[in-house]
Structure 1
Amino acid sequence: MTGARPGGAPLLPPPPPGPSPFLLRLWEEADLPLVVAAAADPYTVSVTTLPDPCDEAAARRYIESRALVLSRGVGVPLVIADTRTGRGVGGITLSLRDAAEGRGSLGYWVAPGYRGCGAAAHALRLASAWAHDALGVPRLELAIEPWNTGSLRVAGAAGFRREGLMRRWQEIGGERRDLYLYARLAGDPRP
């Protein structure tokens, strides 16, 4: 499994083929308003590393932390951006902490105001195909709360299959929560 080009530069997802409403790119300073808007949603803050409270300085530190995650090789944090405007609408991160075991995990969020437009499903399809094809990650996983029907639909639309319920798997918002485990294997049919 490789995560870098010769010379140490990170291997990043290529632009999507053909006309596409969304693309994946690195975080940049222009994404400060996106971070502030997303951090205004208490649930998004509870399941991500977004800062709470979040002002411009906290948003800047968050964006800087994305570059550190990438440089350390433990993950690839990317912005989900509108192809026409380049404006960020959300974030998606491929975690490579379990890469030695052949597993990666993905987490994604879309800022309020951009939900329901297909950004998360599109980004998850792009990131998954890239992780399998370019990075050679054989298994990708998602953990989703059972009540989160939007995220469950996103997982299905991106070719992930539900494998089981992990009872009281993770603390979210101060309490242990059940999470569904979804997975996609490199050889699974592509959506």
Structure 2
Amino acid sequence: MTRALSTPPAVLSGALAASPQPVLPAAPALLLRPWEQPDAPAFLSAYQDDDTRRWHTRRPSSEAEVREWFDAYRRDWAQERGGHWAIAEDGGAVLGRIALRDMDFDDGVATVAYWVLPAARGCGVATHALAALTVWALGEVGFHRLELDHSTRNVASCRVAVKAGYLLEGTKRSAALHDDGRHDMHLHARVRGG
């Protein structure tokens, strides 16, 4: 069923799927690029890390499952549901993941998620990646608002959000189920022009 709008969509349908998922520069030696099949071992290794597992309850169990996720990521792009990037050294190793999900073209709102491999933590990798994705999504694509949330116990993720200019808007009480029970979640957002 098509919904009749009294306002035009903030982002036109077809704006993303009409072209390949872009490679985005994130810092002098850092870029965001679509996931490739050879990245499966690095991706899977992230979910062997206790800190990553603490904050992410949906986890792949094998490289074959990771490759299925990569296939789903390509479909997400083609169907304009999301974009999923490897955070990588320019021409080198995977350092993390960043995604733009839950894209609402009518209202111009999307959600951002990220993680970084243990060896790349504390170096600004997540902040640079989040800043680059934000500039592209709010500027070139035309989203109006980007949101992200994280457990109130995840201090590192909160620090990344704030450094990238995402204002803390509030706490969603008991909003996510983690392995150790329910967590309150901080809601951060960036708005175009503000």
Normalising by structure 1, report the TM-score: 0.85
Amino acid at match of 2:18: G
Q: Give the alignment partner of residue 113 of structure 1, picking from 89, 97, 119.
A: 119
The answer to whether structure 1 residue 126 and structure 2 residue 132 are counterparts is yes
Q: Structure 1 residues 170 and 115 mapped into 2: Cα distance closer, same or farther (>3 Å)?
A: same
Normalising by structure 2, report the TM-score: 0.84
Amino acid at match of 1:33: P
List, as ranges, runs of 4+ consecutive aligned residues in structure 1 with deviation greater than 6 Å: none
Q: Structure 1 residues 28 and 101 mapped into 2: Cα distance closer, same or farther (>3 Å)?
A: same
The answer to whether structure 1 residue 47 and structure 2 residue 56 are counterparts is yes
- By how many angstroms is 1:21 displaced? 2.8
The answer to whether structure 1 residue 180 and structure 2 residue 186 are counterparts is yes
- Residues 21, 34 of structure 2: 8 Å contact kept: no
Aligned residues: 183
The answer to whether structure 1 residue 8 and structure 2 residue 18 are counterparts is yes
Between 179-188 and 165-174, the greater mean CA deviation after superposition = 165-174
- SS of aligned partner of 2:188: strand
- By how many angstroms is 1:7 displaced? 8.1
Q: Which has the higher contact order (CA 8 A, sep 6+)?
A: 2
Amino acid at match of 1:134: E
Structure 2 partner of 1:82: 89
CA distance in structure 2 between the partners assigned to 1:100 and 1:147 by the alignment:
33
Aligned-pair identity in percent equals 33
Residues 82-132 of structure 1, C-alpha deviations (whole Å, 9 max, x = no match): 12x432111100014333222111000112222112110000000001000
Residues 120-165 of structure 1, C-alpha deviations (whole Å, 9 max, x = no match): 0000000001000011111111101112111111011111100111
Amino acid at match of 2:93: R
**1:151-190 aligned within 5 A:** 151-173=157-179, 175-188=181-194
- Computed over aligned residues only, the root mean square deviation of the Cα atoms, in angstroms, reads 2.2
CA distance in structure 2 between the partners assigned to 1:50 and 1:28 by the alignment:
18
Q: Structure 1 residues 61 and 7 mapped into 2: Cα distance closer, same or farther (>3 Å)?
A: closer
Structure 1 residue runs of 5 or longer lacking an equivalent are none
Q: Give the alignment partner of residue 37 of structure 1, picking from 22, 45, 57.
A: 45
- By how many angstroms is 1:2 displaced? 4.2
- Residues 21, 77 of structure 2: 8 Å contact kept: no
CA distance in structure 1 between the partners assigned to 2:177 and 2:107 by the alignment:
24
